[in-house]
Amino acid sequence: MSNASKEPEIALVRAFARLKLEPRKLQAGHVWLVGAGPGDPGLLTIEALSALDQADALVHDALVSPEIVAVAEQAEKFYVGKRGGRLSIPQGEINALLVRLARENRKVVRLKGGHPYVFGRGGEETLALAQNGIPHRVLPGVTSAFGGLTSAGIPATMRGVNGAIILATGFAAVSDDRPDWTALARTGQPIVIYMGLTHMQATVAELLAGGLPETTPAALVENATLPQERTVVATLGTLVEAAQREAVVSPALIVVGGIVAMRDRLRGGA
């Protein structure tokens, strides 16, 4: 590598030194639940990077980029995501693994896509650790709604457009968690739907039934913040067809509401 291309790295090391941050120590027998952000390694927090560097056991799933997993070079890796279309490992087994690793006196990082406490089942894992008396910490990450929308050029809020933004799951396993889509539609506020592809048709039908016009701007943001990021813009009325035509795959966010229409204007278009 030439000296010129090394310069930003050296500048970064110097900037970091000026911050005078003393990263917290990950102790043996402790578990940290760490948010990795939506994919782009640049969106890791400094504390997440430090946690990966200290871990000697890393438990991760499919949403985390391989480059980020590779930072934990000293750690034994435990992959607990889906394999070749098979169902994921049951949550109870993941909880038990975290407890076991902590009891083996490992320095455990449980790495999750986005933010551990936003549709990440981080709460269940923290609860299991708390119930078993395992010392733990949760390190927030950039959730895909905020990282991903920004990357796609869509503002989360914009004066004159929206005074609230709704984050919802399109795939609630427990019926108590299932959003009341017609009620959400009636707020008129933009909705960002995580895990929305599988049940998109039903969700869209309920949003329309709740009174959102077919002309409501809508978008799908696939692989947000990653090199293969793709945004498909449609309307609520054409969203399902657009997703099929463009063969949109997971991970993707569905965004419904006027903020989507800001995309062209912020980019200097229409």
252 binds ligand SAH (CB under 6 A): yes
Which listed residue (140, 190, 217, 251) binds ligand SAH by CB under 6 A?
251
257 binds ligand SAH (CB under 6 A): no
Our finding on whether 57 is near ligand SAH (CB under 6 A) is no
Question: Structure tokens of 165?
Answer: 């933004």
Q: Which of 101, 98, 253, 112 is nearest to 170 (CA)?
A: 253
| DSSP notation for 109-134 | EEEESB-TTSSSSHHHHHHHHHHTT-
Number of residues located near ligand SAH, criterion CB under 6 A: 24
Q: What is the per-residue binding string for ligand SAH in 81-120, x denoting contact by CB under 6 A?
A: -------------------------------xxxx--xxx
Per CB under 6 A, the segment of 11-19, 90-98, 140-148, 202-210 that binds ligand SAH is 140-148
Q: Give the shortest CB-64-to-ligand SAH separation in angstroms.
A: 9
> Does 140 participate in binding ligand SAH (rule CB under 6 A)?
no
Establish if 162 lies at the interface with ligand SAH (CB under 6 A): no
Check 82, 177, 180, 264 and give the catalytic one.
82
- Under the criterion CB under 6 A, does residue 231 sit at the interface with ligand SAH? no
Taking the alpha carbons of 78, 40, 47, 144 in that order, is the dihedral positive or negative? negative
Min CB(99)–ligand SAH separation in Å: 21
The CB-nearest residue to ligand SAH is 114
Strand 230-235 vs strand 217-222: parallel, antiparallel, or unpaired? antiparallel
> Token pair of 146, please?
């905020």
The C-alpha torsion from 159 through 239 and 153 to 260, rounded to 10°, is -10
State the nearest-atom distance from the C-beta of 52 to ligand SAH, in Å: 17
Question: Residue 140: is the preceding peptide bond cis (ω within 30°)?
Answer: no
Strands (E), 26-75: 31-35, 57-60
Burial of 85 (0-12, 13-18, 19+ CB in 10 A): exposed
Structure tokens at 4: 């010129």
Is the CB of 119 or the CB of 181 nearer to ligand SAH?
A: 119
Active site residues: 61, 82
- Which residues would be at the binding site for ligand SAH (CB under 6 A)? 38-39, 63, 112-115, 118-120, 143-144, 148, 194-195, 221, 223-226, 250-253
